[in-house]
Amino acid sequence: MSISEYRTMSRPVLSGLPATGQTRRLTPGGGPGVVGRCRDHARSALEDWGWLPTTDPDQQARADDVLLVVSELVTNACRYAGGPDQLVLSATAHLLRIEVLDGSDAPPRPRVPHAPGQLGGHGLHAVALLVGRWGHAPLAGRPGKVVWAEFDVP
């Protein structure tokens, strides 16, 4: 094993953060590719914060979960709310929070009953399985909402 491989494996998750944490924001714009732009933004933040690259399979799986949740929340904003206005990633040594802001006041609605064999309607159920907590709130002072999800940092 090379020294650089050892350093990549042994560094703590989110080691690249300042002690007070850090927030990254993206205004993705509309049109084709918005989900990909948001995923790329999230991947770049995970790289800067020391989560990626990794040779630890558990850490890689957790990073993949984060990117999947970003994709699901942004896809829902595109499908049901006219697209995301902003993607916000906030991280501390103990928590990674994803926020997707959009201009719709309508809350996200998981399909009930959930039918695993049915086409579509699985995104919010997947989010609920992958994260520690998720929810939504109205935006202060303007129309719209924020849909958020939180990962506890291992």
Mean pLDDT of 48-64: 93
Q: Largest Cα–Cα distance in the chain?
A: 54
CATH 3.30.70.60 describes domain 3-152: no
Cα dihedral sign for 68, 27, 80, 133?
positive
42-73 residues labelled b (16+ CB within 10 A) or e (exposed): bbebbeebbbbebeeeebeebbebbbebbbbb
pTM: 0.87
**pLDDT over 90 percentage in the chain:** 69
